[in-house]
Amino acid sequence: MTTETIIQTLLPASLALIMFSLGVTLSREDFKRFLREPRAVLTGLTVQIILIPCFAYALTRIFKLDPELSVGLMLLAASPGGVSANLFSHFSGGDVALNITLTAVNSVLAAFTIPAIVYLSLSHFMDQSQFIGFQFGKMVEVFLIVLIPVLIGMLVNEKFPRFKERIEKPFNLFAITFLILVVIVAIKKEYVLISQSFVEIGLLTLIFNVGSLALGYFAGKALKLTEAQAIGIGFEIGIHNVTLGLFLAYSILGNTRFAVPGACYAVMMYFVAGGLTLLIRMRKRKLLTPSEAPAP
């Protein structure tokens, strides 16, 4: 089995599992929370939909990326957060309920925002012969692959709660396993390019990762949200759905170079988010008074 076949097989399966496992964590109540906390939700959505693509575009200009890598970074910026963001937010003392609401709303909006960002990125960075491949049919395919598994997962969560409890952890495990395999295969396939440009691409994706986390957090603080809400938004914005970005690159657009920023980002993302979580926990521990500190 060729590398290309492995990627084309694993990516749709991995993405479907991830979006389904995302759906089973959501309910209609998560959407209703938008009406109760509109300022916090709108802050997160504004950063994700407007500021992060602008930030990614600025990086493509600063680093003078070639057109294909520029599109790849924009694909990553277009991909919203997911279950991993909720997990890191939980361990860092973030507002997980806000994370879940942002995930719910973003999952629906992404079906519309992703095709728009992909279309604009291709029209800006690529020449006409390369851009022409992304037509209406491809937009519909993105819409379906993003939204349908999430809706099925939500239906399972609402109608079969006991079944959902049994499958949630195995599905998350399978999804993460598939993601790791896809990233390994993607890096192997583009090893020459990545090894030749590792400093540039590695630094680029590191700055994008840290910058995304910072934009989410400080946007929340600037609008006087609580510390927990700012942390939640930071992780929701800073941890992107890499599998979705890789799927867009390989399966929708058919260009492996588009996947390089996402593959590099996937390697760094968990180290950066894990390190930040550790720093937040250490900071909170130091702020505790001796009487509040947990017993050894």
Tens digit of pLDDT for each residue in 267-288?
Answer: 888 889 889 999 988 887 776 6
Look up residue 154 and give its two tokens. 């939500």
Amino acid letter, residue 183: V
Model confidence pTM above 0.95: no
pLDDT band at 136; cut points 50, 70, 90: low
CA distance 172 to 85: 13
Region of poorest pLDDT, from 61-75, 110-124, 133-147? 133-147
Domain count for the chain: 1
291 occurs within a structural domain: no
Look up residue 275 and give its two tokens. 């390190």
Look up residue 42 and give its two tokens. 């709108």
292 occurs within a structural domain: no
pLDDT band at 291; cut points 50, 70, 90: very low
Task: Compute the CA torsion angle 184, 275, 107, 263 (nearest 10 deg).
Answer: -20
- Model confidence pLDDT, tens digit, residues 157-167: 888 888 877 87
293 occurs within a structural domain: no
Distance of CA 13 to the CA centre of its chain: 17
pLDDT higher than threshold 50 for residue 296 = no
CA distance 240 to 219: 17
The predicted structure's pLDDT at residue 161: 82
The predicted structure's pLDDT at residue 132: 46
- Model confidence pLDDT, tens digit, residues 24-49: 877 777 777 777 778 999 999 999 99
What value does the mean pLDDT take over residues 180-201? 71
93 occurs within a structural domain: yes
Specify the CATH number for the domain of residue 95.
1.20.1530.20
35 occurs within a structural domain: yes
The predicted structure's pLDDT at residue 8: 65
Domain span holding position 264: 3-286
295 occurs within a structural domain: no
Look up residue 240 and give its two tokens. 């992107």
